[in-house]
Amino acid sequence: MPEGAPGLEVELYCDGASRGNPGPAGAGALLKEKAGGRVLARLSRGLGRATNNEAEYAALLLGLEEARRMGAARISVRADSELVVKQINGEYRVRHPVMRQRHQEAMRLLATFTAWEARHIPRELNSEADRLANLAVDSARKP
């Protein structure tokens, strides 16, 4: 049965970046309190070499794991990856084996929330998650 802080509802903005496809990649996630928009977490993780779609899923998982850790009950996912959003909403099938694993992990995590929804948003509304993803790529590439 899903658990979580009864009143904590968060918005997750997530984005992946890959310079080359595949290439050096990073994941970024921003968690905000839904009521009021207070920033709860800014997350950034280098991924090594990955495709853009792998980076997009890594960003989603990064944010979901942190929301779960902080005890969020409900989550609203916002991403500029139409593919990821349509896959987790069941509109697109997941054919690639690596993506299927990441999709299954995302669905497992989403099921731990009392409620969730995911929406595709324009890239310009996801600039902070994009910045965090690119920061992760840049940080990993420094000697």
The pLDDT tens digits of the residues spanning 26-85 come to 999 999 999 999 999 999 999 999 999 999 999 999 999 999 999 999 999 999 999 999
- DSSP SS3 for 7: coil
Task: Quote the pLDDT of residue 7.
Answer: 77
Asked if residue 142 has pLDDT above 90, the reply is no
Asked if residue 2 has pLDDT above 50, the reply is no
Task: Quote the pLDDT of residue 140.
Answer: 75
Task: Quote the pLDDT of residue 75.
Answer: 98
CATH 3.30.420.10 is held by the domain 9-138: yes
Which positions ≥6 away from 69 have C-beta within 8 Å? none
- DSSP SS3 for 132: helix
Phi-psi map region of 60: left, alpha, beta (phi>0 left; psi -120 to 50 alpha) = alpha
What residues does each domain of the chain span? 9-138
Task: Quote the pLDDT of residue 55.
Answer: 98
Asked if residue 1 has pLDDT above 50, the reply is no
Task: Quote the pLDDT of residue 4.
Answer: 47
Residue pLDDT, tens place only, 84-140: 999 999 999 999 999 999 999 999 999 999 999 999 999 999 999 999 999 999 987
DSSP 124: G
Cα–Cα–Cα angle for 119, 123, 64, nearest 5°? 50
Do residues 63 and 105 make contact, with C-beta atoms less than 8 angstroms apart? Answer: no
DSSP 20: S
Do residues 74 and 113 make contact, with C-beta atoms less than 8 angstroms apart? Answer: yes
Task: Quote the pLDDT of residue 6.
Answer: 64
